[in-house]
Each structure stands twice: as structure tokens, then as C-alpha cells.
Amino acid sequence: MAHRARGLAHRRHLDRRLRVRRGQPADDLRADWDDEGRLLMATRDGAVKIIERRSGTWTQTWFHDLRDLTPDPTPSPSWARAW
């Protein structure tokens, strides 16, 4: 629970910055908090990254570019079709 509270506190500081990114609305990305207060972001341009608060500033600590990957849809396994 303490981790979740820490993530929510970080979120308050970052919410305003997420509203506009390079002149585009925040709809251009999807983001969620993990239990450690880090922000995982997936952008429409094909990047996945982790943003963490370090020394009082938000810092990108991990990045992976997925643009060169090609989707290969396959049927889901039977165990994944029911809750």
C-alpha cells in the first residue's frame, strides 16, 4: 500500500506535464504507474519507456523502440479465453 501511495504522490507532480507532449495531446501515449512509483509509457510512435523520479526530477531510465517489429496475430490459447 505504501508503494501505491508513493506512486499517486508522484502522479500529482507529473499530471500537468503529461497533458501536452511536444505540442500534442496526452492521447498520443498511454501510461500507468507500477508499485515502485515508476511510470511506464507507451507512445503511438512505437516507443515504450520507464520514467522515474530521481534527485527531484523526472528521468527516463529505460527505453525500447518497437517500430521495426511486425505484428503476428495468433489465436489466444484456450486457457486465456475464460476468466
- Render pLDDT for 36-82 as a digit per residue (tens, 0 to 9): 989 999 988 889 999 999 998 889 999 999 999 998 999 999 999 98
The pTM assigned to this predicted structure is 0.55
Q: How many CA atoms lie within 13 A of 81 on its CB side?
A: 5
Positive/negative CA dihedral, 48, 53, 55, 58: positive
- Render pLDDT for 19-44 as a digit per residue (tens, 0 to 9): 444 555 454 578 889 999 899 999 88
Q: What is the pLDDT of residue 75?
A: 93
Q: What is the pLDDT of residue 20?
A: 46
